[in-house]
Structure 1
Amino acid sequence: MRCDLDRLQRFVDMLPDGFPAAFEFRHDSWFTEDVYNVLTSHDIALCHADGENNEMPFVSTTQWGCLRLRKPSYEQSELDGRLEKTASWRDAFIFSKHEDEAARPRMANHYLHMVGEGLRAALG
């Protein structure tokens, strides 16, 4: 679906104040400053999703965020890069595509380890 800024504005205006919401857009027309401003003004997260054929801009519109990892596999440097981008979030909701080879639990453990290392470094 192509961007419809008026429809987005009307929809987010109906959400209760403080209602946690995240939007995942698939069409490139949504990735504009006007859309980011609407999301930011309502404290709505832009869900960052990747896939085999697309990469979307990584723009934070809230103090928390949502990340969807949809590729079948990742290089370690890719995962570390995504974690670094989420470091400024107060809360991170990370979802990954289910795969039969059980790589996702290992990936989740790696993320938890990296977050723990970051906390230890920050606490000195």
Structure 2
Amino acid sequence: MKNQVNIGCSSFYNSFWKTIFYPQNLPSKKWFDFYCQHFDTYEFNGSFYKFPTVRIFQNWYNKTPESFMFSVKVPKEITHIKKLIDCESLLNDFYNICKDGMKDKLGAILFQFPPSYDFSKDKLGAIIGILNYDFKNVVEFRHESWWNDEVWKVFKENNITFCSVSHPNLPQTIFKDFPILYMRFHGIPRLFHSSYSTEELKHVNQKIHSQKGFVYFNNTASEAGILNALELKRMAI
């Protein structure tokens, strides 16, 4: 059985990718169209920096192929500034915007918490209490204290996916027993820059065989992200 994971990148607007991916004479306004010819998913990170609107997401929806899928990151106002405190209304608005804008092309909702957000039972309870379980919720932590059996047990009981990460300061566990596989490759040892070797990607491909979910390369501050994504996609066919 071939892999059933959607493989893509966490950004596409990248001048480093000219000639190695985008044709030299292709105008930048057509880069995303070209990206969509080679990948069937995109991790939308713009919503982390600026709260999105239905219209913005509808525009993205309309310019992608029928079977294309988006994963969308929760705004930092919710995860980094307020850290889920008094965020019920704000998060509900975000969920609704994603649903109304992305419609059937909405994959996962990604919550990424900052490195300062360490584990506590209260924080775990806050996460469980605020999520909308009509969506595919994925949580990415940047503090190693969350890698523990209590968190994993509670996440599985509530149908939440624990994000697998490749990050210089975190365990590189590939989690396969959550609702979906969700992996983010950030670059090791140099965050956002470092490339993964063919052997490393072969190891990943073996691990994710027959899984369902999403794999995104976020090592996009260089040419590494697009080359790694293309190579892993070829392996997964």
TM superposition score normalised by structure 2: 0.44
The gaps in structure 1 that reach 5 residues or longer are 117-124
**Equivalent position to 2:209, from 87, 94, 97:** 87
The gaps in structure 2 that reach 5 residues or longer are 1-116, 188-193
Q: Spell out, residue by residue over 1:78-105, the C-alpha distance to the aligned partner (whole angstroms, 9 max, x if none).
A: 11212222224212232322133x2322
The answer to whether the aligner puts 1:48 opposite 2:164 as a matched pair is yes
* Structure possessing the higher radius of gyration over alpha carbons: 2
Q: How many residues align?
A: 115
TM superposition score normalised by structure 1: 0.77
By percentage of residues, which structure has more strand?
2
CA contact (8 A) 1:86 1:92 kept: no
CA contact (8 A) 1:49 1:70 kept: yes
CA contact (8 A) 1:63 1:88 kept: no
CA distance in 2: counterparts of 1:73 and 1:52, whole angstroms: 12
**Equivalent position to 1:77, from 199, 205, 209:** 199
Question: Which position in structure 1 is the counterpart of 2:123?
Answer: 7
Which residue identity lines up with residue 226 of structure 2 in the other structure?
A: P
Question: Which position in structure 1 is the counterpart of 2:226?
Answer: 105
Q: Percent identity at matched positions?
A: 23
CA contact (8 A) 1:70 1:96 kept: yes
Cα gap change, 1:9 to 1:60, in 2 (>3 Å) = farther
Q: Spell out, residue by residue over 1:38-57, the C-alpha distance to the aligned partner (whole angstroms, 9 max, x if none).
A: 11112111111122344333
Which residue identity lines up with residue 231 of structure 2 in the other structure?
A: H
The answer to whether the aligner puts 1:18 opposite 2:134 as a matched pair is yes
CA distance in 1: counterparts of 2:145 and 2:168, whole angstroms: 19
Question: Which position in structure 2 is the counterpart of 1:68?
Answer: 184
Superposition deviation, residue 37 in structure 1: 0.9
- CA-atom RMSD in angstroms: 2.0
